[in-house]
């Protein structure tokens, strides 16, 4: 299969809308996160180019690099999420007649479920990387692009929460109790941090008249 | 220029990330809204196909049609937003030496600013159409796709708020006081309704274990 990130936008949206269960929310979260990182990176670039906003250059330059990296990684995760989902379906279809088959299927399922949890955790992580940059980008960046920074923060937050929902639905299938607990704690902490970053950006957006 | 919706996903994200001010938050909001409508439509289709969820068919069937329509319209709005933005820039560059030139420029600017406000208002409207379907889709739809419905609601809400931010930044340029007031009231009302629809969906998502 060709990479999902190479599909035309309208084809990707139509593929989501089809009755095939994948690509679904996990891949869409990665795609939304990539657009969010792109928007925030644009605001950084529209700031670095302008002498007028020179005071913000030092703080925003490393954020721009991080946002570009996050975008590239999130685009890869669009495919990784769909592949991980397909992996779970494939493992479920393995034969389970003999004891040896059952054991092999159990092992394949454990591995597939672990991957299907790890991948959205990474999507959440990189979308959160983008979201973390948003308050500084909106506060210090080119004010003419403030609505773009706010749009980026909104899409990044939505991507973090959608990815974490995918972590949570896969959690019951993660057999190892230590891993299970680690994922749950990480997901809880990231959900909280994402909410705080959105709130901070929302206050800045409100002060710029971008909200009621 | 070829339509933005025909660009590969990764190229669209890279185009957002470039130092060109358009496409920006308005087009990204339309793209995010189209993906949101796609996700929610998928959940409807994964429900209509299954005898097990027959009780939900009557309520979800018309929602599926509305979601497909919203997706198609939002994909068109990706381009319309960027064109409207370019139209404002073009009007600003018109000559303003003579009185006749000044009057013609004023008229062109008024028209361009009005379009640059109307287009994100439409993006907000169709993303809100998708969001309004989310509570029923999550509550009555195929429970195996609950995280997809929640991901759709999140992306739709982000798209509504990003589009409304674009309405608000253009509002000061809308000269007609009646139009100005109408847009502001519509934007305020839609922001409130979107918040309520997200909250309703969030409560359902929480009851399914998709949130901490």
Tens digits of per-residue pLDDT, B85-135?
A: 999 999 999 999 999 999 999 999 999 999 999 999 999 999 999 999 999
Mutate which of A13, A41, A48, A49 to disrupt the B interface (most B C-beta within 10 Å)?
A13
DSSP 8-state assignment for residue B144: G
- pLDDT average, residue stretch B52-79: 97
Mutate which of B2, B37, B42 to disrupt the A interface (most A C-beta within 10 Å)?
B42
Query: Using CB atoms, which residue from B15, B28, B187 is nearest to A151?
Result: B28
Residue A88 has pLDDT above 70, yes or no: yes
Phi-psi region of A200 (alpha: psi -120 to 50; beta: other; left: phi over 0): alpha
How many other C-beta atoms lie within 10 A of the C-beta of residue B199? Answer: 11
Query: Which of B3, B156, B139 has the alpha carbon at shortest distance from B83?
Result: B3
Q: What is the mean pLDDT of chain B?
A: 96
Share of chain B above pLDDT 70, in %: 100
Question: Which residues lie across from B8 on neighbouring strands?
Answer: A8
Listed in sequence order, the residues at least 6 apart from B100 whose beta carbon sits closer than 8 Å to its beta carbon are none
Least-confidence region, from A20-24, B79-83, B115-119: A20-24
CB A124 within 8 A of CB A36: no
- pLDDT average, residue stretch A190-207: 98
Residue A1 has pLDDT above 60, yes or no: no
How many other C-beta atoms lie within 10 A of the C-beta of residue A139? Answer: 18
Mutate which of B4, B5, B6, B8 to disrupt the A interface (most A C-beta within 10 Å)?
B8
Q: What is the reported pTM?
A: 0.97
Centroid of chain to Cα A161? 8
For chain B, report the end-to-end CA distance as a whole number of angstroms.
45
Query: Which of A120, A70, A40 has the alpha carbon at shortest distance from B150?
Result: A120
| N residues, chain A | 212
Instruction: Work out the burial of residue A129: count CB atoms within 10 Å of its CB; fewer than 13 is exposed, 13-18 middle, 19 or more buried.
Output: buried
Q: What pLDDT is stored for residue B49 in this prediction?
A: 82
Query: Using CB atoms, which residue from A8, A16, A49 is nearest to B7?
Result: A8
CB contact under 8 A, B212 and A205: no
Collapsing DSSP states into helix, strand and coil, what is residue B6? helix
Task: Answer with the residue of higher pLDDT: B20 or B153.
Answer: B153
CB contact under 8 A, B168 and A8: no
Model confidence pLDDT, tens digit, residues B151-178: 999 999 999 999 999 999 999 999 899 9
Q: What pLDDT is stored for residue B1 in this prediction?
A: 55
d(CA B34, nearest CA chain A) in Å: 6
Instruction: Work out the burial of residue B54: count CB atoms within 10 Å of its CB; fewer than 13 is exposed, 13-18 middle, 19 or more buried.
Output: exposed
CA geometry: angle B80, B169, A202, nearest 5 deg: 110
> Which residues on A lie below 8 Å from B188 (Cβ)?
212
Model confidence pLDDT, tens digit, residues A57-79: 999 999 999 999 999 999 999 99
Query: Using CB atoms, which residue from B10, B25, B155 is nearest to A39?
Result: B25
- pLDDT average, residue stretch A125-129: 98
User: Quick one: which H or E segment has residue B88?
Assistant: helix B57-92
Residue that is written with structure tokens 């305020």 in the block: B188
pLDDT band, very low/low/confident/very high, at A49 (cuts 50, 70, 90): confident
Chain B contact for A155, CB < 8 A?
A: yes
Q: What pLDDT is stored for residue A48 in this prediction?
A: 97
CB contact under 8 A, B75 and A13: yes
Q: What is the 3-state secondary structure (H, E, C) of A88-140?
A: HHHHHCCCCCCHHHHHHHHHHHHHHHHHHHHHHHHHHHHHHHHHHHHHHHHHH
Chain A contact for B90, CB < 8 A?
A: no
Query: Using CB atoms, which residue from A147, A159, A161 is nearest to B169?
Result: A147
Query: Using CB atoms, which residue from A34, A75, A210 is nearest to B168?
Result: A210
B77-100 as b/e: b if 16+ CB within 10 A? bbbbbbbbbbbbeebeeeeeeeee
């Amino acid at each position: 299969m060709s990479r999902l990130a190479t599909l035309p936008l309208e084809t990707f949206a139509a593929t989501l809308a089809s009755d095939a269960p994948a690509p679904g929310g996990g891949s869409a979260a990665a795609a939304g996160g990539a657009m969010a990182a792109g928007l925030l990176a644009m605001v950084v670039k529209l700031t670095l180019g302008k002498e007028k906003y020179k005071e913000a250059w030092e703080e925003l330059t490393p954020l721009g690099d991080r946002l570009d990296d996050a975008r590239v990684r999130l685009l890869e995760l669009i495919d990784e999420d769909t592949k991980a989902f397909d992996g779970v379906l494939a493992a479920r279809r393995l034969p389970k007649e003999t004891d040896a088959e059952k054991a092999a299927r159990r092992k394949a399922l454990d591995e597939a479920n672990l991957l299907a949890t790890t991948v959205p955790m990474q999507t959440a992580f990189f979308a959160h990387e983008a979201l973390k940059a948003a308050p500084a980008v909106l506060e210090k960046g080119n004010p003419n692009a403030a609505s773009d920074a706010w749009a980026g923060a909104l899409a990044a937050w939505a991507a973090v929460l959608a990815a974490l929902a995918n972590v949570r639905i896969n959690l019951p299938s993660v057999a190892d109790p230590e891993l299970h607990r680690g994922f749950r704690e990480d997901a809880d902490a990231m959900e909280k941090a994402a909410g705080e970053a959105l709130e901070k950006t929302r206050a800045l957006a409100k002060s710029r008249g971008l909200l009621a």
